[in-house]
Structure 1
């Protein structure tokens, strides 16, 4: 039976029965306990929303967009659409399940904790974890027969819907393959435009961003100038040099630039806010301290340490933001290992607003954007000379250097003039890129900017002044060169 959700962003959402069955599983309900903005809640009081409601919103928008594309295609071709009911359902499921793999505090886990906890391991992204968790959700809740009842094909190599869903979660491939080369396994090239709906790696215009821009702005109290409803109304499937793509009406260029401007603004004002970044470094440090000694239990007699939880689907299902409560609980016990006690002390500092301090920030010039890694290494080297380690401690216990990146999603390129297709009112079936002379003169000359920040971790430490002097010397050197 379909179910209606009353959402603060999209209003009353009606989702089909199969999506409701997926929502009503432990693997999906886990998302209720993972903050959408990681440590942002410790800076913005309204940022209490979770991955759960975002995922429901993306599932809804994925359905709205694919249904709108199907309706317009049927009208323009006056024939049966390329998009069938199975396609629609798969796109909705991919949107719903795209964030199943997020760990505690969202990107803190996959982007900050894991690279340091397992530096020699394989590259691990939340999209890969989402695919693993989707498989676990389907198997653990015996949903394969249910999916078959709703018309999905879950076996075989030809248009396997489970493969299709997981490919969409992973994201579309770059559009540089030969036209005769098969791009995907779940669907043939004729339907490759469907991969642009949930996670569009070509230009970043997808329903995942539509939802979190609107939702994050709502909870942060920041104005969102992008109108995703208008985008859906004017979106069409068009032929671009022999391949089908989702294209927007040419007059919608300004609305899309508003989307990328909103993205940039959110990163500057919220996602990479100086204090938020300090909090997230502290959460990461606490997780690292607890990584080997904190046990994640999923059944009687079955457990693994925090740093190994990503390799156990059952343990990962139990891993949420509540891990910091577990750290605090174990840190208060008399028999607690010293590492857990140190982790608990870091969490206590967050609770008392005794946060890591910002030593300073270097805004790299346009010509120096590619030197961020070199400047980071230089800062680490010089700070380590000035601030020697204490016994078993290393520089990671004294300070941390972070690079904050602000862009339009494609590094220093314009994602619209270089990667986005449009159609005209007079020829709505053929897509094209906009001409350079039609691009607004009000756009920035540089689409990417990097700020290098240094955070001091020690509390009440006189060496902070030495660190500041060292930082200012390096900053002056960078700015003069």
Structure 2
């Protein structure tokens, strides 16, 4: 009788995969996650950040089981529910496309490059992230896991209110996904910002039947540290200006690859073709096209030879003014058309950092304070929104033209 496997992990020592889950881990489309980097082109700035969605998925599975075990002891879930939800944590990223979230950012460019192609590519469903929609399809039609596909659809696509307890573990403010990637990314990026004490968090955090995270008074500092860890990881690492511009350059390149069918529409629907859609696929296609005239020659140098953009950064009120202007659909369209006209030789990356505290409660005395419905800074330190706009450009003339058109004096 198989007893599962223990897989060596740099964060937790060992991650256990139950025998009943090995078929998922060994399936080709889960193994494909080894070739999808967790953080796009972050390795061009942080050289060791080459880790993949594969090890993150195992880590999220491990953390979910720790959270669910506590819920089981409190009588909120039974053994069958524990197994089902932890399996969903295992496959929650199975629908990610090359370079993870950077691929989804490319769809915004595609919308302005070719609206019809955009609609053909994403279909009619727009109330979920693209990789979540793809994940449902992969589980249902490629892996043969109808039960998991249904649960993923209920959580991520339909957002069913009756699944709040599951969402708290899988897709919420302090879920297993975030608790793993903060630690894992901190380790691989070589920074200290995301280091948290997971065992302490699990100890002082309760999840109630409505999916709220409840911290007792003795856990207030732990809650604050966790929120600040997330805040500073986004500010210093995920939204690093150079990383942001490289990822935006990649997103623009991917949009053009979809438009000219280098990345075919059926590639996200056909199981065999989806299996081959990896980071290496994109980079190999870029190498193939490097001698062609047009954008690919330029972006071959940018993405594979690390040819950096010049950059200009807007902060504070200047960034707020620009961002608020871009909330106007006509202004946004004007900006994207300007970028497309310049063939990506000028790009704009909006780096917003805030501290979400929805569904987080603090238990004080005989009552509970819902931090999302009150002045949270009275109880925990909550920094305000930090916003930066990074403009990357290859020639001064491009920036001067951008400044005249989009930066108000």
Q: Report the TM-score when normalising by structure 2.
A: 0.83
Q: Does 1:88 align with 2:82?
A: yes
Match of 1:420 in 2: 360
SS of alignment partner, residue 276 of structure 1: helix
Q: Does 1:467 align with 2:383?
A: no
Q: Deviations over 1:23-65 (max 9, x none)?
A: 1011100100011010101110110110000000001111111
Pairing partner for 1:257 from 219, 224, 243: 224
Match of 1:317 in 2: 275
Q: How many residues align?
A: 393
Pairing partner for 1:439 from 374, 378, 402: 378
Quick check: 2:346–2:398 contact (8 Å CA) kept in 1? no
Flag the structure with higher helix content. Answer: 2
Structure 2 residue runs of 5 or longer lacking an equivalent are: none
Q: How does 1:119-134 map to 2 (within 5 A)?
A: 119=115, 120-121=118-119, 122=124, 123=126, 125-134=130-139
Q: Distance in 1 between matches of 2:319 and 2:241?
A: 21
Distance 1:361 1:244, change over 3 A: closer
Match of 1:406 in 2: 353
Quick check: 1:268–1:406 contact (8 Å CA) kept in 2? yes
Q: Deviations over 1:170-227 (max 9, x none)?
A: 5955xxxxxxxxx34xx6xxxx423210101xxx111100000000011112213532
Pairing partner for 2:199 from 220, 229, 232: 229
Q: Distance in 1 between matches of 2:319 and 2:312?
A: 23
1:431 Cα offset (Å): 5.2
Distance 1:344 1:26, change over 3 A: farther
SS of alignment partner, residue 353 of structure 2: strand
1:453 Cα offset (Å): 2.5
Quick check: 1:248–1:421 contact (8 Å CA) kept in 2? yes
Quick check: 2:295–2:343 contact (8 Å CA) kept in 1? no
Q: Distance in 2 between matches of 1:33 and 1:63?
A: 25
1:237 Cα offset (Å): 4.2
Q: Deviations over 1:47-90 (max 9, x none)?
A: 0110000000001111111002222x1xxxxxxx3411110111
SS of alignment partner, residue 104 of structure 1: coil
Higher deviation after alignment, 281-290 or 374-383? 374-383
Q: Which has the larger radius of gyration?
A: 1
SS of alignment partner, residue 229 of structure 2: helix
Q: Distance in 2 between matches of 1:379 and 1:83?
A: 46
1:406 Cα offset (Å): 1.3
Match of 1:215 in 2: 184
Q: Does 1:136 align with 2:75?
A: no
Distance 1:307 1:362, change over 3 A: farther
Structure 1 residue runs of 5 or longer lacking an equivalent are: 74-80, 145-153, 155-160, 174-182, 296-304, 410-414
Q: Does 1:198 align with 2:170?
A: yes
Q: Does 1:326 align with 2:287?
A: no
Cα RMSD (Å): 3.4
Distance 1:28 1:468, change over 3 A: same
